[in-house]
Structure 1
């Protein structure tokens, strides 16, 4: 099967060839013909399988045949994504597919200038990639109209639901043309997702190319049982073994990401950090430096678990285990991309045993143990209680209370 036999416009096929893309992936092979035919599509495939091209190429093909330019402020195709990183990745891919054509691709996400985005949208847009919150901001400012939107894509829809974007979807959907094609793509299919498809899709074709929770085949996985306090030392030991190779390190919290990045910088690493408290400019600069090789290590929260497509990432470290089991699969899917091999190493502290069990249940297999001894249930429970307890403080009666003049001490 080739992109030509799938029925795509020759100019799109040529653009793919220029990027070294000659054969469609399974999700593309199955989804593109239905999308070209106008069917609503519900696609389920693991991360890194080419979902963006599966929905982006058919939309571009159909829009190329329209001829006329979009009206001011109007949008013809709308792609909603849960995070800024994923939205930018999608927009970059769409821009590459349509480079040299008359199609206009725009990106609107939080953390960037609202006025600048409104100005770009005023000229009309063929393909708009947006995060739901920022799109609603622009709708409220009457900077964009969706009544001519004939194509709607919900990408990584399961994460959108996890992040509470269902309310935003309910506000956006009624503004779109009733005569539209809707495509929903996701790596997992929870019950709420099925309910979502019934609400927004009409007689969809369901396409599933890999079991939910299945990690990328080429990712070599390893597990180390280590106390929380010993994780940084172990991480530095592992990073020292491949200083010339790129590594992506996941933490659970924003503060933890900053703290770990600082420790790695002191250890002599060129390191950056991205998380929800960073501005969009800071996040973009860190990712750009990481892609170029200026940074060898990038520390991130789960904002980077989906949407980062950097083929050079050879190593992924789960410094902290994710609270959502499926995010483990998305995290390790940041390596072994574009047919390359990759390695994912996970550190498990006593308090994380329940998260580990949930991850292994989701995958249907255990992660090979490479270091340490599996924590017993009592160790994990004790550690959890310790994490939940407040730091010990001297008894208030045992020391005089210092007055601060009615103001709280800094």
Structure 2
């Protein structure tokens, strides 16, 4: 039998007991509350730091742009009006990162490198032509091609492939200049690297075509008036006698050194013999007879002529006066000096006492230095062409 009273007591006891809470739920709630609390404490500083970092990044970018623009201004210091300067500055101002700015700077540097390389090539062309640059269609054409080149290699190839043609083209302008300068002259003085040279105009024009470009650019050419002068030179200071038309350098001899005076051109050559150094004697005999017809009359007379000449000048005067045969003397003494030089070479015997007298052509502004030179103080050197 069911115990009603007992069941009733159990129900009343059950109604009075409270349910136990779930432990995991409590833990989760505690963790969430802790996180929220932690975020409430730490999040504002983090956000503030991020905001500050963003501000710093923007400032850094702006500073980088300012630095980059300064670099552009420096790169274009030689070319302030170049439109590419504004182009690169505009790109820097629009840049969004340091990396982008770096790329723009690198592009600008390459542009300036190419531009300067082109300028250097064009300056070399200007140096080749000097004042004739604007007159040369070839020079203008090559410089335009260099301006349009897209790379250093392309510009260099254009220059090198045309270099020899440019030099030869420039030579013609310089040669034409000197031809105009010496027109209507007979003699010119040419100065190369500080050294003076005397030329007949005809010889200079021949020589002109053999000069390279660098020599032509350094030349200084002056017309000169020539005059004739006499120049005595002792044989030992002359060597073999130069011939008419030969070019010589005249030196004034000093105690310790010789001083060059000027170049000159030989017109005529004479020998001054020591007085009474040569004797010449000649004897003649002749017979005169007279014969008549019928009454023959004959007569005869012997004439003997004997004379002696002292000194070569006496011999010359005697020939001029007809006392000795002119043509015979001319034949015997013709080119005496050259024959003497040849004999001295063959025998290796040298006569140091002979004095040569040269009739020379010298620039008129040098004549005063030539007149009055003593043979003991004068030397000449033949200039080989």
More strand by share: 2
TM-score when normalising by structure 2: 0.18
TM-score w.r.t. structure 1 length? Answer: 0.17
Which one has a bigger Cα radius of gyration?
2
Greater share of residues in helix: 2
